[in-house]
Amino acid sequence: MDTLYPNMTGWKTIAEKFRAKFDANPRVYRAPGRVNLIGEHTDYNDGFVLPAAIGFYCWVAAGPRRDDKLVVYSDEFRDQVEVGLSTGALRPSRTWSDYSVGVAAQLEKGGFKLSGMNLLIHGEVPIGAGLSSSASIEVATALALTQESGLSIGRTQLAGICQQAENEFVGMRCGIMDQFISMHGRANRALMLDCRSLQFEFVPIPESVRLVICNTGVKHKLAGGEYNRRREECEEAVRSLAKALPGIHAVRDVSREQLEVHSELLSEVAYKRALHVVNENERVLNGMEALQTGDLQRFGQYMSESHLSLRDLFEVSCPELDLMVELANRQSGLYGARMTGGGFGGATINLVDAQCAAPFAESVSKAYRDKTGIACTTHVCMPADGASLVEPAEIAR
Ligand code: GLA
């Protein structure tokens, strides 16, 4: 993906729109979506993940107001909300604005004083594709709100505030992965995060490969409710296992041996969920080692195993994702393919030899359309940088 030209377009578009709407020059922030290479449904189990930021952004243009209001205009929904700051009265409205107003609410709850502000939001991360459009809105809003209010809050803390906004304001009990990578992403690198300690390490993605994203074009309605249910099932597994293993706090603390020895304490469903998490954590750590030693075949193998485990043990895949992976497995140049993100639709991530990436994307997309009648969008990319204030001079360079 060419990163220079679209960024310039994004900056100009949003700055012009802000000027037209609020009659002032804004400062422009942006935060990327992400793709997860491996480590799915492990973040809220205190486990390990290996995501990368991608070059699709949520752009937020911001400018000051004289009063204590926060006015947020959404370019996509052509809708505006206005809320009073410093009143302690910010409440969810169950609309698009909860992602940004929720961040303001959590910042205020944390004791941070925000200035009155106009925001214009323009999101380009595909919605419902499992590429974290929500996190990109939260993170871009968080940077804009804090920097324009003269607050300096560390990126990791800010990622946590965004996650809380989604947990408490939007009602999706997501883990920390999406907000964290949107804040901390780095070009050409994936990020290995320990979701308990929040320690992280970058791993270079070799020039010889591309990350190919294939969007199934479907998002099943169940997704939100089923996600929270998976989280409860993991919590249930921990509660049951804690009867025999009193020191444990999360599935992260359980070894495969312990899980087998105490499996009779668990319902069949809780056992399957926990087994996925235990194995997936191990795949992330082994996968990280494989990437570091340049063993792409081995990494690809872990990706394939991860998909099967998400399909059979965690049960968050769907026929369209399974088909997309199956079609990918027939192409040359593929190291590994799996669903990415929460599941129940959305996209797959494919690690593909750079030379083969374009024909790979074309063949998979055609075969998928032929089989399902659904158009498939594909993106050939490399990891991008995390959220930032964007100066026009910087992108015009
Ligand atoms: C969604 C959530 C993340 C993570 C993934 C599954 O993207 O927002 O926190 O749990 O699903 O790995």
pLDDT digits (tens, 9 = 90+) for 163-186: 999 999 999 999 999 999 999 999
178 is catalytic: yes
Q: Which atom of ligand 1 is nearest to the CA of 41?
A: 12
Residue 12: per-residue pLDDT: 85
Q: In the Cβ-directed half-sphere of 1, how many Cα atoms lie within 13 Å? A: 20
Ligand 1 lined by 37 (C-beta under 6 Å): no
pLDDT band at 10 (very low <50, low <70, confident <90, very high): confident
Q: What percent of the chain has pLDDT over 90?
A: 91
Residue 3: per-residue pLDDT: 41
Ligand 1 lined by 234 (C-beta under 6 Å): no
**How far apart are the CA of 35 and the centre of ligand 1, in A?**
10
Q: Token digits for 194? A: 């320990």
pLDDT band at 276 (very low <50, low <70, confident <90, very high): very high
Q: Which of 43, 46, 98, 178 is catalytic?
A: 178
How far is the CA of 322 from the CAs of 130, 212, 344, in angstroms?
15, 16, 10
**How far apart are the CA of 231 and the centre of ligand 1, in A?**
10
Residue minimizing CA distance to atom 2 of ligand 1: 174
Residue 5: per-residue pLDDT: 43
Residue 89: per-residue pLDDT: 85
Residue minimizing CA distance to atom 11 of ligand 1: 342
**How far apart are the CA of 123 and the centre of ligand 1, in A?**
19
**How far apart are the CA of 201 and the centre of ligand 1, in A?**
19
Over 90: is that where the pLDDT of 79 sits?
A: yes
Residue 389: per-residue pLDDT: 96
pLDDT band at 273 (very low <50, low <70, confident <90, very high): very high
Over 80: is that where the pLDDT of 8 sits?
A: no
- One-letter amino acid at 227 equals Y
Separation of alpha carbons 313 and 275, rounded Å:
7
Mutate which of 50, 99, 178 for ligand 1 pocket (most atoms within 8 A of beta carbon) = 178
**CB 192 within 8 Å of CB 177:** no
Ligand 1 lined by 148 (C-beta under 6 Å): no
More confident residue, 88 or 325: 325
**CB 87 within 8 Å of CB 100:** no
**CB 318 within 8 Å of CB 340:** no
Residue 223: per-residue pLDDT: 63
**How far apart are the CA of 40 and the centre of ligand 1, in A?**
7
Residue 149: per-residue pLDDT: 98
- pLDDT tens digits along 110-169: 999 999 999 999 999 988 899 999 999 999 999 999 999 999 999 999 999 999 999 999
**CB 310 within 8 Å of CB 339:** yes
Residue minimizing CA distance to atom 9 of ligand 1: 175
Spatial CB neighbours of 16, under 8 Å, sequence gap ≥ 6: none
Residue 2: per-residue pLDDT: 37
Q: Which of 58, 75, 76, 72 is nearest to 114 (CA)?
A: 72
Summarize the confidence of residues 32-56 as an average pLDDT.
98
Over 80: is that where the pLDDT of 234 sits?
A: yes
**CB 170 within 8 Å of CB 99:** yes
> Percent helix, strand, coil in the chain (nearest 5)?
45, 25, 30
**How far apart are the CA of 13 and the centre of ligand 1, in A?**
30
- DSSP code of 158? H
- pLDDT tens digits along 293-317: 999 999 999 999 999 999 999 999 9
With 0-12 / 13-18 / 19 or more C-beta atoms within 10 angstroms meaning exposed / middle / buried, residue 72 is: buried
With 0-12 / 13-18 / 19 or more C-beta atoms within 10 angstroms meaning exposed / middle / buried, residue 251 is: buried
Ligand 1 lined by 342 (C-beta under 6 Å): yes
Summarize the confidence of residues 267-296 as an average pLDDT.
98
Over 60: is that where the pLDDT of 189 sits?
A: yes
CA angle 132, 134, 135 (to 5 degrees): 70
Strands 117-123 and 48-64: antiparallel
Residue 62: per-residue pLDDT: 98
Written as one string, the DSSP assignment of 354-395 is GGGHHHHHHHHHHHHHHHHS---EEEEE------EEE-HHHH
Ligand 1 lined by 287 (C-beta under 6 Å): no
Summarize the confidence of residues 264-285 as an average pLDDT.
98
Ligand 1 lined by 178 (C-beta under 6 Å): yes
Residue 357: per-residue pLDDT: 98
Question: Which residue bears the tokens 């486990």?
Answer: 47
Over 80: is that where the pLDDT of 392 sits?
A: no
**How far apart are the CA of 132 and the centre of ligand 1, in A?**
8
- pLDDT tens digits along 97-120: 999 999 999 999 999 999 999 999
Strands (E) in 39-183, as ranges, are 48-64, 69-74, 79-84, 117-123
Ligand 1 lined by 324 (C-beta under 6 Å): no
Separation of alpha carbons 284 and 42, rounded Å:
10
Residue minimizing CA distance to atom 8 of ligand 1: 174
Q: What's the 3-state SS for 302-341?
A: HHHHHHHHHHHCCCCCCHHHHHHHHHHHCCCCEEEEEECC
Over 70: is that where the pLDDT of 396 sits?
A: no
Mutate which of 45, 177, 283 for ligand 1 pocket (most atoms within 8 A of beta carbon) = 177
Helix (H, G, I), strand (E, B) or coil at 293: coil
Summarize the confidence of residues 237-247 as an average pLDDT.
97
Over 80: is that where the pLDDT of 222 sits?
A: no
Name 209's bridge partners: 353
